[in-house]
Structure 1
Amino acid sequence: MTDAQWFAEQFEANRPHLRAVAYRMLGSLTEADDALQDAWIRTTRADSRTITNIGGWLTTLVGRVCIDMLRARQSRRESLVGSWLPEPVVSTYATFEPEQSTLLADAVGLALLVVLESLAPPERLAFVLHDLFGVPFDEIGPIVDRTPEAARQLASRARRRVRGAGTQPNADLPTQRRVVGAFLAASRSGDFDELIKLLDPDVVFRADTGTRTWLAPARLTGAAEVAHHTSTHGPKFATHCEPAVVNGAAGIIARTGAGLVAVVGFTVIDERIAEIDLLLDADKLAGLTVSGRG
């Protein structure tokens, strides 16, 4: 077997894991696939005789590609107007596998990806590779040009940011579905008082509208502000909505004759909605596939 054949076989065997690493690093399945393509090209310049742990070597390779992409993306995003949200993973309840919900929500919840986006690229890489995939710091250090101990400190700082942001829902999926279903019903009827009951007092609403900034406010905070906006604009929008699973948690998708027009992710804590993430960016939506709906 030639080097090229061996690398191709090993890369395909590790592809699901590598794509998961890249998605958590980049918050975009499209960019994750680009990262894997770049990593694959780099294998053509490698010597298999120098590799003792192909899984670890490929993970490190993808990590290097992702950190380069993150740094380039940060420089491009300096002129961004409004909020940025990741590209979600969406499925219908008919195709969703409940036993995967906890793992998926813990690993790639939208709220977690939003927090990761606020980290410096080396912090994000150290946290993702170590805390989510168990890569040792002596392998992470060289990727970010740090000692293993310095890489450990990067992950520690990132971990404190993640924990402080309270990104993890503490409700099971059926409870999330009930709360989000009640929110959708209240939105359809424009019931301000019911919305107030369902929202955490400090709820945060974020909207990624892409270049169409007039579609929604980029950010709202507090139950009264979010309830007012939802009760005013929700009735028309909600008529196009249906329940879905968004990154392992209860969510909503909106469809019109033109196709998918919105994805909404929720973070439910103590049976109240603590975060709402509304994706309206047409470019991101165009690349999404809702599992189970063709």
Structure 2
Amino acid sequence: MDSTAVDRFEASRGRLASLAYRLLGSAADAEDAVQDTFLRWQAADRERVEVPEAWLTKVVTNLCLDRLRSAQARHERAAGDWQPEPLLEGDPMLGPADTFEQRESVSLAVLTLMERLSPVERAAYVLREAFSYRHAEIAGILDITESASQQHVHRARRRVAAERRGGGEVDPASARRVVEEFLAAATSGRTDRLVALLTDDVTAISDGAGLGKRLLRYKTPERVASYARAGFKPTPAKRRLAGGTPAIHIALVNGSPAVIAVVDDRVVGAVAFEVSDGKVASLRGIAAADRIARLNDAWRQREPEAPVINAW
């Protein structure tokens, strides 16, 4: 393959990766889909490809749909063992972030909600909301009619909106202050203050420090507060599991504040927060090594802010 064809693909790589990540919720799977797209591009009769960007978009989208429809993916996601892979602020795979819809489409909350959509609904929604494709273009990518594209996007919007919390975008500075208050209350063991910082319908999901195969789920402010108090309480066993004494940072993950635990410049766990109306609406704890690998790599490549807790 000549350098012109390679350059043409590389010019689209970032957009293809951010599209694949939104469709799959996994950076590792997105990278695989993009690499498979490159192999298809390499083998294609490129002289017959009139619009390379459209061709590449169609290929990567359909490769992602194949993955979403696979037996393994259906089993993992239906069983509730799956959650999105978190990405640190500034990761190019997060893609376009100029509009509220683009930023929302990559939030961990919406990536989770999109699991309830059919693969085609998910693809139509992402292509429309995050990348502003016209319905005629979406129809061509998904091999459906323009009317069907409109229906898929309408249904997807309605389902996401029905289950999405809050009334709009949250100011990052305000959300960070709520998380700082939450962290202070959790580490001090002030359960009453923790409960006051939680919405009535708060939820928490954890992968159990990456040790279990099933996700742990908690509901009600009292149960979530108890989980948070126990989870944020330092113990010798937790330090052994982490491989040392973590420093605790606050950073943005998928557009929302997150608590990041770091040992010797290595991320050992993250808790992402969704804030609504000045309170914590959900927590998502992720420590499985394969789910935080890309976040870990990104963390090592930047100079983070000073930790809010130097030695947990």
Q: Same fold (TM over 0.5)?
A: yes
CA separation in 2, counterparts of 1:70 and 1:258?
A: 34
2:203 paired residue number: 204
2:23 aligned residue = 25
Q: Which moved more, 1:3-12 or 1:63-72?
A: 3-12
Residue-pair matches, total: 284
1:79/1:55 Cα in 2 relative to 1: closer, same or farther (>3 Å)? closer
Rate the CA distance shift 1:201–1:57 in 2: closer, same or farther, 3 A. same
Note if 1:269 corresponds to 2:295.
no
TM-score calculated relative to the size of structure 1: 0.85
Secondary structure in structure 2 of the residue aligned to 1:289: helix
Tell me the residue number matched to 1:95. Answer: none
Give me the whole-angstrom Cα distance separating, in 1, the residues matched to 2:140 and 2:98. Answer: 33
Normalising by structure 2, report the TM-score.
Answer: 0.81
- CA distance in 2 between partners of 1:21 and 1:206 (Å): 25
2:7 pairs with 1:9 = yes
Tell me, yes or no, if the aligned pair for 1:200 and 1:272 is still in contact at 8 Å: yes
2:183 aligned with 1:184, yes or no? yes
Quick one: structure 1 residues 66 and 184, their matched pair in 2 at CA, closer, same or farther if it must change by over 3 Å? Answer: same
Find out whether 1:289 has 2:296 as its counterpart: yes
Paired residue type of 1:190 = G
1:138-194 deviations in whole A, cap 9, x for unaligned? 333354443221122112111111111225663201001100011111110111111
Unaligned runs of 5+ in 2: 91-96, 240-244, 302-312
Show the 5 A alignment for 1:163-178.
163-167=161-165, 170-178=169-177
Describe the superposition over 1:75-130 as per-residue Cα deviations: whole angstroms up to 9, x where unpaired: 342684x54211111259xxxxxx97968742311111111122211111111112
Q: CA 1:60–1:22 in structure 2 vs 1: closer, same or farther (change >3 Å)? A: same
Moved more, 148-157 or 108-117: 148-157
Which sits farther off after the overlay, 3-12 or 136-145?
136-145
Taking a change above 3 Å as real, the CA distance of residues 83 and 207 of structure 1, as seen in their structure-2 partners, is farther
202-211 or 5-14: which moved more?
202-211
For 2:229, give the aligned amino acid. Answer: S
For 2:139 and 2:101, how far apart are their aligned partners in 1? 27
1:96 alignment counterpart: none
The unaligned stretches of length 5 or more in structure 1 are 93-98
Alignment of 1:96-245 (within 5 A): 105-167=103-165, 170-209=169-208, 212-213=211-212, 218-236=216-234, 240=246, 241-245=248-252
| Kept in 1: contact 2:105–2:126 (CA 8 A) | no
Q: Distance in 2 between matches of 1:131 and 1:258?
A: 36
Conservation of the 8 A alpha-carbon contact between 1:101 and 1:248: no
In structure 1, the residue matched to 2:73 is 74
Match of 1:55 among 53, 56, 69: 53
Structure 1 pair 293–78 and aligned structure 2 pair: CA distance change class (3 A):
closer
Query: What SS does structure 1 have at the residue aligned with 2:230?
Result: helix
Structure 1 distance, partners of 2:125, 2:230, is: 40
For the Cα contact (< 8 Å) 2:86–2:292, is it kept in 1? no
Question: Structure 1: how far apart are the matches of 2:203 and 2:190?
Answer: 19
Q: Which has the higher contact order (CA 8 A, sep 6+)?
A: 1
User: One-letter code of the match for 1:45?
Assistant: A
Q: Distance in 2 between matches of 1:110 and 1:126?
A: 19
CA contact (8 A) 2:84 2:112 kept: yes
Three-state SS of the structure 2 residue aligned to 1:235 is: coil
SS of the aligned residue for 1:66 comes to helix
| Equivalent AA in structure 2 for residue 32 of structure 1 | A
Question: How far, CA to CA, are the matches of 1:58 and 1:174 in structure 2?
Answer: 38
Identity of aligned residues (%): 34
Residue aligning to 1:89:
87
**Stretch of structure 1 that moved more, 107-116 or 284-293:** 284-293
Contact residue 101 and residue 129 of structure 2 kept, 8 A: no
* Cα pair 1:206 1:276 within 8 Å, conserved: yes
The SS at the match of 1:8 is: helix
Change (3 A) 1:104 1:138: closer
Q: Which amino acid aligns with 1:131?
A: E
- Residue 255 (structure 1) aligns with: 262
| Cα shift readout 1:229-279 (whole Å, capped 9, x = no counterpart) | 222332227984321111122111113469422111111111111111111
- Residues 258 and 271, structure 2, Cα contact 8 Å, conserved in 1: yes
**In structure 2, how many angstroms separate the alpha carbons of the residues matched to 1:144 and 1:157?**
16
